[in-house]
Amino acid sequence: MEAFVNVDERLGRVHGQHMDDRRRHVIESLRWQVDNTSDPVTAAVLRAAAEDAERGGPTWDRLAPHAELPPGAAIALRLAGAAHRLALAGEAPEYAAHLPTCGGDGDTKAAAKAFVALMDDDRLDLRPVQTNEPRRTAPLAAAFHVVHQRTGLPLRLLELGASAGLLLRFDDYAYELGSTVAGNASSAVRIRVDLDGPTPAVGPTPVVARRGCDPNPLDPASPEDRLLLLSFVWAGEVERFRTVEAAIDAAAADPAPVDRADAAAWLADHLAPASGTTTVVFHSIVQQYLSPATRSGVNAAITDAATRATADAPLAHITFEPGEGRAETRLTLWPGGEEHLVAVSGFHGSPLDWRGYR
């Protein structure tokens, strides 16, 4: 907030007038993202964009039509993703030359200069942010395993906001948890996670059915959808980028079904507990995108199904959602219905502090 007041005062002095509220909102969004990005390349390009917008440069012209978007729409990530997409597609070679994900040199100053130079380019397409982060399966796989151990039954997985379905395929992946390798050790998809606590067990967990929903499901076999997903991985995070690439490739060969649907309506249709299996509803970094009506529809469907859960047809709800500055994985199992905080982690799943079902 301080920085924002100073920016306003400086511009007021320069132009002798109050800065337009819309521009202030955009600059604030860019600067917030700079402070909340672990990747130095993304931080550098967004800092340069904020400075350019302050000067009233081309970044402001590019962002002005999107200035009314709410903070949750992450205008900074839309902009970074749009430029990254052009670079990955070979359509912005001067920018790609400095991006590690494109084989570039990682020179943050040069990347920032090339990024601002792109702002005049009408091919920049500020599409809504859509990610699918396979590393989040580390705490989720451990939570699924707890559910299986406690119920003794195979799982039927229902994912809300499944994107390209990469998390639904958790049992296809190898888990490198500190110095331990678990899961499908020969998998091309390596989920490498630093540990802040004990090593969790991530399987074996039998799964008899898996299905997800998303208003905009992405097809891992489609080159456009692949490019879209990869463009929202930060351009300096090569290892993460390679993991997402490997997970998309594996899903293209054997996709998990994802229905085009809003979470509430879809869940009401799919949720009835089934004898001989544990029904597991889960979601990761989805709650903030749901309308109040969808949220209450999801809650109502789970509350209703919970009343019908039995030892032979149990129900679990697992959430990987923001907590105090980190992501929290919470598990509730019915019959019973007590919520357990089973893990705390980074927003992409690492580092992972496994707390267990206590």
Ligand X SMILES: C[S@@+](CC[C@H](N)C(=O)[O-])C[C@H]1O[C@@H](n2cnc3c(N)ncnc32)[C@H](O)[C@@H]1O
- In the Cβ-directed half-sphere of 200, how many Cα atoms lie within 13 Å? 30
Span of 46-54, 126-134, 299-307, 322-330 interacting with ligand X by CB under 6 A? 126-134
CB of 220 to ligand X, least distance (A): 13
**Residue nearer to ligand X on the CB measure, 221 or 265:** 265
The correct pick among 50, 182, 263, 309 for binding ligand X (CB under 6 A) is 263
Geometric angle at alpha carbon 248, from 247 and 253, rounded to 5°? 100
Count other C-beta atoms under 10 Å from residue 30's C-beta.
25
Segment 192 to 231, residues that bind ligand X, using CB under 6 A: 213-216
The reply to whether 132 sits near ligand X by the rule CB under 6 A is yes
Question: Which of 31, 5, 39, 29 minimizes the C-alpha distance to 19?
Answer: 5
**Residue nearer to ligand X on the CB measure, 104 or 134:** 134
Question: Which of 322, 288, 227 minimizes the C-alpha distance to 36?
Answer: 322
Q: Contacts with ligand X: how many residues (CB under 6 A)? A: 21
Q: Supply the Cα-derived Rg of the chain in whole angstroms.
A: 22
CB of 293 to ligand X, least distance (A): 9
Q: How far is CA 16 from CA 11, 53, 67, 220, in A?
A: 8, 17, 22, 52
The reply to whether 131 sits near ligand X by the rule CB under 6 A is yes
The reply to whether 251 sits near ligand X by the rule CB under 6 A is no
* Region for 37 from its dihedrals, namely left if φ exceeds 0, alpha if ψ lies in -120 to 50, beta otherwise: beta
In the chain, count H helices and then E strands.
12, 11
The reply to whether 357 sits near ligand X by the rule CB under 6 A is no
**Residue nearer to ligand X on the CB measure, 62 or 317:** 317
**Residue nearer to ligand X on the CB measure, 37 or 130:** 130
**Residue nearer to ligand X on the CB measure, 72 or 90:** 72
Binding mask 276-315 for ligand X (x = CB under 6 A): --------xxx--xx---x---------------------
